[in-house]
Amino acid sequence: MFGHQRGFTTVPDIEQYKKMQWSFLCNIKMRWEYDGLANAFRNKGIYLYGKDNGTMRMNNPIFGILIAPHRDRNYGVDIYVPVDRKAEALRIYENKDALKLAAESEALEGEAHHRAFDEAVLAQRAERKSRKKRFFASAPA
């Protein structure tokens, strides 16, 4: 994946994220499916990168109003996983019963994991900022 990236990831360290190679796994449109994937992947130590495609896109009319815009469509979220973990992630994704159980588990324990992830990201950010300050402070004038 090249260029500016929009989306979200479960990798807490942005430097590690930038070095990873991602492979498309699936497009999901249901919230329970995403919650199940997030929980199952977190338990297996598989990172994910998601790109929201939107839910209310309108097409660009070519001839004014001759072509009616498409509305109220769910374009879902594209889920990407690290290339080296794709086979394992695909097995998890294809087991829908386990995903449903994982989604129920995510509803119960997800908030605590979200807080822990946010704290880890903020700690990584503070560490990077501290390294930059030390680097520039030690540079000759």
**What are the extents of the domains in the chain?**
8-56+70-138
**Mean pLDDT of the residues in the chain:** 78
* Banded model confidence at residue 81, pLDDT cuts 50, 70, 90: very high
pLDDT at 10 over 60: yes
Helix (H) or strand (E) holding 137: helix 96-138
* Banded model confidence at residue 87, pLDDT cuts 50, 70, 90: very high
User: What is the number of H-type helices and E-type strands within the chain?
Assistant: 4, 4
> Residue range 2-31: average pLDDT?
78
| Single-letter amino acid, residue 120 | A
Spatial distance between the Cα atoms of 77 and 55, rounded to a whole number of angstroms = 10
Tokens 């492979």 label which residue?
Answer: 23
pLDDT at 73 over 50: yes
Spatial distance between the Cα atoms of 39 and 60, rounded to a whole number of angstroms = 37
Q: Which tokens go with 127?
A: 């560490």
User: What is the model's pLDDT at position 49?
Assistant: 87
How many alpha carbons lie under 13 Å from residue 119 in its C-beta half-sphere?
A: 6
